[in-house]
Structure 1
């Protein structure tokens, strides 16, 4: 029987740089969100500056997700679901449902506002929700680009199938395939599903790589067996062979090349400039961002202590 690793001391010849066990936040009614990035152990992996796991959770009939309009700058948000549906609305006038295997890629650039909710139709009965949301920091040259949104259907994403292995390229490129997501930096984001005891190799083509386990257990040989809900940051420079446990495993492979400089992160804002973060905070206080058509609610700027934090 697979036994997960319970300690975090890594052997000298470990393939891992660090292990992140995410903090869990209960957003109400036992709807949990696990935050893997940023963490004390690791702030960024390639351009990935934020990674949340939503659920798995089942909303009772009449209930659902209600993330009111809120702003972003300097990043792209990526939503990817395993189960359920989320209705996206933004200040560009886009209204787009996202379902399992699809991608909503929203480029904030100089500023965008969006909401994320469970639709009225989905609230007619109990509805599940399980997925990942991440933020990708934009290269400095593109931080102030025009905001944009692209929805990519399940069948548009490259899919690689081998014995016991299914890999869907969500964004960026890996395994010789590239997603149509409009990425602006060298990166990869791959939904990898391994059947029981199947093996796969994570290539060494990028400087920074990590594995976020969403289901099952993963065997990394001498490093141990790891369970769902952990972010395994790999050392650079060599391919890593992974093996699924007896019930199989599903994970997201992510990473890329490091950013050309540090990033500041405060609330929903990411930038290479602390002053730009302060300007965004003031713009939201004064409601200078374009609104989401048809929505009057919004999330007020929280009481943010001190100056923006620089990562890494």
Structure 2
């Protein structure tokens, strides 16, 4: 039975669609990354990401995969579904000027779009069974879009639950502290063989997405939007910027170790990760004084020290 389309008068159509949006997905799902799936390692990356709490994957009919972090913005009144900083200086410009009459979120998160599908772990496993590779592990065959629509996951719902289940997170005012490096201690070659032994499992409690260095006030405003979501930081090392999401892999056990170590369930990315070259431990455990992490308050102070030309370019 075909549903009858709703007919609106001009006056009805001019009323903001936000007034009938009960889930406020634009305030509960932060877009953090996009990628294309062309190789086995891209598919493995998708499996890896879906191991983390609050991470949702979607696929558009154009072939672009989107990664979302599903946690309500800290400024969202979840009971009323309203922004608590609406029309104030604290509200990011990207939110203030977002046009609800062309909103994509409501269609995609309401399951009303046939050009976008949600992919949870079960759906990804079904997709994986229909993917074929050549000898170089390049994808040469994928399911049809009609098959993907038929097997799509339901739209996600943001959770306000705590991000971490096993390891305490380390957001705090000491992020920007630049301590003098401690006097280096001598170690033997064998001492350095197992760097994970005294590590806080930082690679299992954070996702790091490299981003271009922002060059304009518009790009910096997007970072302010991102930092409005709990558990999100900006990382700066030299000219390299990254979006950091604090979240926990479902396979991390209470002892801070991988519960699927050595099994086929473990992502290839993790199995072949070179812990001797790990950047997580010095950056999040201390020791890398050339890497800065900022939350929203620090970022606002950072913005106050910047200057721009008339076109908004950072000077």
What's the TM-score, normalizing by structure 2?
0.26
Larger radius of gyration: 2
Higher relative strand content: 1
Higher relative helix content: 2
